[in-house]
Amino acid sequence: MDVKIEQSWKDALYPEFSTPYFENITAFLKTEKAQGKTIYPPGSLIFNAFSHTPFDKVKVVLLGQDPYHNPGQAMGLSFSVPKGVTPPPSLINIYKELNKDIGMPIPRNGDLTPWADQGVLLLNAVLTVRANEPASHSKSGWMNFTDAVIKKISQEKEGVVFLLWGRFAQEKQVLIDQSRHFILKAAHPSPFSADKGFFGCKHFSRTNEILIRQGIDPIDWSITD
């Protein structure tokens, strides 16, 4: 796989691209395509989170699990869907919490690119998925890569806010140096768990309070239709 990834990330993660696990990812994706499998997101968007949030711009990491598996949804940014695509239930719940937390009107548009462009790394732990088969690429090696991303941020940056929603994301806290960074944990925004601690977490206002305290520009969480 020709790794078309933003240059600052390419430099930061350079050793990873020659590891056996990364070669296995490449071989796995080639096999999937040779077998006629449809893979989301499209190849040009696999590293979309990195394109919009260069390494030196990362302020916040919002960790998801794997891409949406229905047609037209996955765009390489965790929880985000392209304009014109109905926001999925978890994203609707994120918007509900934003409305309660900071008064943001609930948008019809599910494209979170404006967050990414301000320094919110919208990172899925697994970067690809087979159409209509959730978690189908979870054993492909992607988590070795995204764990390396989290470790790199932890080791080389200071004061990043990690938003860990749900048990899966919270298991990644062992990769983060909590003496250098901030971790905010809550239940996952899925309809199955949002009322068990996601609603009312106030992570958006709390994130901005942490950033402002460090002299860092806060995130404008608004999404325009």
Q: Would you tell me the crossing angle of helices 203-213 and 89-102 to the nearest 10 degrees?
A: 60
Can you read off the two tokens belonging to residue 186? Answer: 């809550």
What span, in angstroms and rounded, lies between the C-alpha atoms of 159 and 182? 6
What span, in angstroms and rounded, lies between the C-alpha atoms of 121 and 5? 14
What span, in angstroms and rounded, lies between the C-alpha atoms of 140 and 142? 6
The residues, any chain, with a CB within 8 Å of residue 128's CB and separated by 6 or more, are 29, 39, 40, 41, 46, 66, 67, 137, 140, 142
- Cα–Cα separations (whole angstroms), residue 166 to 36, 91, 150: 33, 14, 17
Active site residue 66: yes
66, 111, 177, 225: the catalytic one is: 66
Q: Which helix (H) or strand (E) holds 10?
A: helix 7-12
What is the set of active-site residues? 66
